[in-house]
Amino acid sequence: MAARIPYLRLAAAVATFAALWCFTPAADPSVRLCGFHWLTGRDCPLCGLTRGVFALAKGHWSQAIHFNALSPLGFTMLFALVLDAPRLARLWTFGIAAFAIYGILRLSLL
């Protein structure tokens, strides 16, 4: 049973990537699901991250960076979650700190 776990994680990563590659969210959604955006009218640190991750799966780097500058970090964090590598656990600590700093800069500079 334990020997199957790496294969299941790899299958989950492949399925996640396939889902990201097959679907494309609207570039400019008519309805935003972000509660922060509803309340303030400003983008939060995570606004555009979903669209950016979908763009990265298709290889559209400039479009992903346009949606959210930390899209590559979010993409890496997503696969670190699926693959559950102990070394990548530190990535989540760094990633959360990076998103917090990015959010402060995004809110103060806009």
The pLDDT, as a whole number, for residue 2 is 59
15-30: per-residue pLDDT in tens? 888 988 998 887 777 7
Confidence of residue 1 (pLDDT cuts 50, 70, 90): low
Structural domain that includes position 54: 2-27+34-109
Query: Total structural domains in the chain?
Result: 1
Q: Whole-model pTM?
A: 0.78
The pLDDT, as a whole number, for residue 110 is 61
- Crossing angle between the packed helical segments 71-83 and 49-57, to the nearest 10 degrees: 70
